[in-house]
Amino acid sequence: MPEYRPVDGLAYDNTPVQLTKIGTAPITGGRLVEQTTAGGCAHAAASSAKVIGVAKNDLSAAEVALGMRVHVWPLANCVHEIEAAGTINVGDGIQAAANGTIATGTIAALAAAGTLLGICDVGATVGLKAKFTGRT
């Protein structure tokens, strides 16, 4: 996949600051990643409370074995476009789904569970990309 970039970054100069992490498993750019080790990340699991952002670039198994790094876009103050694992409607709460994709849930329930990543701006169905504004 070509390098992923947020649809809109709302940081001070309109360019969000990227994190740099070591890949602990193969990663596809444009998927959610979660913290897995000190300084390491992999695709986010379903309902993860450890999501740190969206991978900018791919990492193959060979690159992971070499300890190569992945750049990660933060969630907060960015509009991201991520593959939906199910039907997502405008205004739905967004949480991680399997393999770094996104799913929906009620905002209150996701917030209480610590898994609310943002609010859907443009909905989608399975396999298509939904847009959401990330929260802290």
pLDDT digits (tens, 9 = 90+) for 71-122: 999 998 889 999 999 999 999 999 999 999 999 999 999 999 999 999 999 9
Query: Average pLDDT for residues 47-61, to the nearest whole number?
Result: 96
Q: Indicate whether 1 belongs to any domain.
A: no
Residue-range definition of the domain harbouring residue 33: 8-73
Distance (Å, rounded) from C-alpha 100 to C-alpha 102? 7
13 and 67: one domain? yes
Q: Indicate whether 47 belongs to any domain.
A: yes
Confidence of residue 14 (pLDDT cuts 50, 70, 90): low
Q: Indicate whether 2 belongs to any domain.
A: no
69 and 21: one domain? yes
Domain count, the chain: 2
Q: What stretches of the chain show up as alpha helix (H) in DSSP? A: 61-65, 107-113
14 and 69: one domain? yes
C-alpha triplet 106, 41, 110: angle, nearest 5°:
10
